[in-house]
Structure 1
């Protein structure tokens, strides 16, 4: 069984002053993935980060909410996390195993934090993982532009899992 895992697609990721690189295109790709997964009756699961009191994704802050274009419907679940690893103390692992999930398609934010940690943990837990190579993003840092970070993450994670562009993801 396959699940689409959307990580940290929260309002703060798409709004200044800290919008992720290529945010509007990332959002369009995430929306398309969610629509296609739902059409194929593939469950969609959302991860929501709970930041600290001074963070834009502190629970209840405007930036904490899932993006309005990427809200769960019906029985779709949202797992809240406090670390980069979407599996750490969230119940996600137990629920995926109980549902018989074997395959994860992963997309979202941030490439060099939560996407990296979640992808690596999913592999360690024995899931067949596909990373959507053009549907994850991050911020630029003083010494490194976001595009270089994303490319480096695709190279590093591509050594572990298949990389697939959003338009080429096969939902089954």
Structure 2
């Protein structure tokens, strides 16, 4: 296997790690992220883009595969940070939660850091993922409890 193949594999792994972290952070509450980050020794960082709110156009498709159409606008907060070691992180959050966008950006940068990626995975991402999974399972159990089974009896007439 060539050096280029190794580099490409590492890059693919890093992108997958960032995607997985963003999927968890996007669904977590700001207070939960903050609580998990308190256990991590955060390095120095600078705000490249101060957290700000704006609007994005939400697009939809009829039936999931029809022609796209503009559904409406949604409020989004965004932020960008750079760690002292050079990693740049970006954070986006639905709504006007600028603190959450900043914490997501910080976590994104930390996940890219070779020294802190495992620490952030263990102390921030994994606990948030476990809580999210537990919440989804509880919701599924509550929903299943209200399930009604209907059946049709075929009559022997006609």
Q: Name the TM-score class by shorter chain.
A: under 0.3
Structure with higher Rg: it is 2
Structure 1-normalised TM-score?
Answer: 0.25
Structure 2-normalised TM-score?
Answer: 0.27
